[in-house]
Amino acid sequence: MTTEKFDNVSVTTQANVYFDGKCVSHNILLADGTKKSVGVVLPSSLTFNTGAPEIMECVGGSCEYKLKGSNDWLSSKAGEKFSIPGNSSFDIRVTEAYHYICHFG
């Protein structure tokens, strides 16, 4: 099931803009202290690095991704998630806007 909204959150008003605007997100803080970001990746091929483990939840569009150390491209569409270990990276290919929630581990 795709997450459609978060209630009772704090949102940063300034966007995080990466890769010359190809990825834009906002940080949110839930009432229980959980941190997440919500954003969109526009059509592109990018590499993201992780500090903490992350779970990418697709809430619209789709992408293909490849985890560090793998040669396999996998797909993710609305309602699907994929996990990335901490201190790692992943490549992402987007042909239509990929809307996501990043859950930090």
Contact 16, 26 (CB under 8 A): yes
Minimal CA–CA distance to 14: which of 42, 39, 44, 43? 39
**Burial class of 41 by CB neighbour count within 10 A (0 to 12, 13 to 18, 19+):** buried
Pairing assessment for the beta strands 74-77 and 62-67 based on DSSP bridges? antiparallel
- Does some domain include residue 1? no
Residue 47's domain spans which residues?
18-104
pLDDT tens profile 22-75: 999 999 999 999 999 999 999 999 999 999 999 999 999 999 999 999 999 999
Looking at the chain, the number of H-run helices and the number of E-run strands are: 0, 11
- Does some domain include residue 38? yes
- Does some domain include residue 45? yes
- pTM of the full predicted structure? 0.94
- Does some domain include residue 96? yes
- Does some domain include residue 76? yes
Number of domains in the chain: 1
Q: What is the CATH number of the domain that holds 36?
A: 2.60.120.10
